Structure 1
């Protein structure tokens, strides 16, 4: 009886004292299975030109020649100041002032009504909107169209999982992770799930952040409405320590429990 209990607890200890190895948490490694990328080597990007989709928000600004003469190249307005204050407060600047692409791919603009921008690049959308506006505005004008920030969500083993809006045109997956407070020690970095939105629906891509070749992949730069999910390692399921200190503490506690059980059984 005592021997069986001892063997059972010994097996538990073998599983428990293991901690997370550095190879599992170090990013951008040269893994044996892939082509090595030397430090200092120029790595070409695979940048996919983003095309507008359902639920995107774009910012459309119109400036006429009269506006330029009065305000110069940096016109200020109460709306712009309100937007700046909202951004500093952590709000979504363009949710209230931008134009959302509906399920039919249209945005609705003042005066010219609906314009279909589905599957257009930002530049293509700008040119299309400009043509529509020129039907009503005869003065010289300048039309600026921007994507209203990059919206993405992080779930699972992040220190600050949540939904974020970043006001820039391009963002890497590592910047998105940093925005979420980094991954926890127990996050499975070699099998991150990236849920990406496409015109036909969504696709799940599995990526390896430990591999330096991620920089060459089309998933290095995130896109609007991406969701990043980090699964936990098996260590969490087993209840093992994250590092040597925690594992040693768990080992000592297990030994104490083993001695206590043996004393109770042998009485």
Structure 2
């Protein structure tokens, strides 16, 4: 009778330990990206969403460089002051940065020495380049103009290794690029439920991604826009991790009890 009772208790302890182990297996399975892709060398092509060039908005900072055969002639035009912006990069993961460029005012204009005010809002950087080049041609012979965003910011928060607001060096940045800058998701991040928050014409848009599926490449939101916010929600494993001390204590007690039960059954 006693032996049967001890055996039943042993099974209960083993079942308890199994419950503690199984969640780790589930977490490992959910931490893999694009699980719908075959694990073979066979090529699979996916047509990604179309990239649309972002347009310039008020409060953007533009890096504008005007060049001619004689650099001295455009030195005054290219003199700009540095401005602090909130953001990070791979070199400076936290804090603020100093960027040089021309601020787009509330009316959508940039003020360039000698060239005056030029309206660039709602234009792409390519369109703004052509417009500034036409204005510069009045004062310089065969000028070349380069225009790009100096404060193209993406914010990544939640269950990532380096949450921050990142200033990216180009306009063609994807969801995966942003997550890479943030050091990838932690083991507790919900890869099947990544949230994107975007402001469009004064309205907030909310889009969710499932990184376990390759369909993320087809999403029209796969390419990010300036000031996008990515939030990675914590999974149930995060709650378990916060109670790690309690779980370890229970596991230790279970192991001790199982050893005692085994010892008693052999008496």
TM-score scaled by structure 1? 0.69
Q: Distance in 1 between matches of 2:207 and 2:156?
A: 14
> Which of the numbers 54, 59, 66 marks the counterpart of 1:50?
54
Deviations along 1:92-121, one digit per CA (max 9) or x if unpaired, are 999542123233322222223332222211
Partner residue in 1 for 2:162: 160
Q: Distance in 2 between matches of 1:94 and 1:184?
A: 26
Q: 1:23 to 1:119 in 2, by over 3 A?
A: farther
Q: 1:93 to 1:110 in 2, by over 3 A?
A: farther
Q: Distance in 2 between matches of 1:201 and 1:108?
A: 29
Q: 1:247 to 1:16 in 2, by over 3 A?
A: farther
Q: 1:175 to 1:241 in 2, by over 3 A?
A: farther
Partner residue in 2 for 1:107: 110
Give the 5 Å matches for 1:1-267.
17=21, 18-19=23-24, 20-30=26-36, 40-46=43-49, 47-67=51-71, 90=92, 95-135=98-138, 137-148=139-150, 150-239=152-241, 249=248, 252-253=251-252, 255=254
TM-score scaled by structure 2? 0.69
> Alignment RMSD, CA only?
4.3
Deviations along 1:35-86, one digit per CA (max 9) or x if unpaired, are xxx9522322321222122332221111124349x9xxxx9xx989x9xxxx
Q: 1:41 to 1:249 in 2, by over 3 A?
A: same
Contact map agreement 2:33 2:211 (CA 8 A) in 1: yes
Contact map agreement 2:62 2:148 (CA 8 A) in 1: yes
More strand by proportion, 1 or 2?
2
The structure whose RCO (Cα within 8 Å, separation 6+) is larger is: 1
Q: Unmatched 5+ residue regions in structure 2? A: 1-8, 83-88, 259-267
Q: Unmatched 5+ residue regions in structure 1? A: 1-5, 32-37, 260-267
Q: 1:103 to 1:151 in 2, by over 3 A?
A: same
Q: Distance in 2 between matches of 1:257 and 1:108?
A: 75
